[in-house]
Amino acid sequence: MFDDDVPEVAELEQKIIKAIFGDVQNDGFAPDEGPKLDHVLSALVGVFIFVIALACPNCRKKIARHLRKLVPGMLHQANHLAATARRTTHWHLH
């Protein structure tokens, strides 16, 4: 999804998605099924924090700057993925 050019990244993404959602596809369940969006986002932020904590202080700052730069591309890719999905409903934050 995000960096499918690197096989290890694509494989890790799929493992994370499977860990959160099980064996469903992108359009495999309605928003009222499965985990809540805010819970998923909070868990992923926790994972980011854990991974960033492993880096030295200087690298933590570099990672934070890099993540800020990635946000516009993430939104663009999310919009594209949502437009190509067969789903007609979307999750909402509660």
Distance CA 72, CA 49 (A): 20
Q: Is the dihedral of CA 31, 33, 36, 40 positive or negative?
A: negative
Domain ranges of the chain: 7-25+34-84
For residues 4-19, give the mean pLDDT: 85
pLDDT tens across 27-45, in order?
555 555 677 888 888 999 9
Residue 91 has pLDDT above 90, yes or no: no
For residues 5-13, give the mean pLDDT: 88
Mind giving me the DSSP string for 55-83? S-HHHHHHHHHHHHHHHHHHHHHHHHHHH
How is residue 34 written in tokens? 């499965």
pLDDT tens across 49-83, in order?
999 999 999 999 999 999 999 999 999 988 888 88
Mind giving me the DSSP string for 17-52? HHHHHTT--TTSS-TTSSS-HHHHHHHHHHHHHHHH
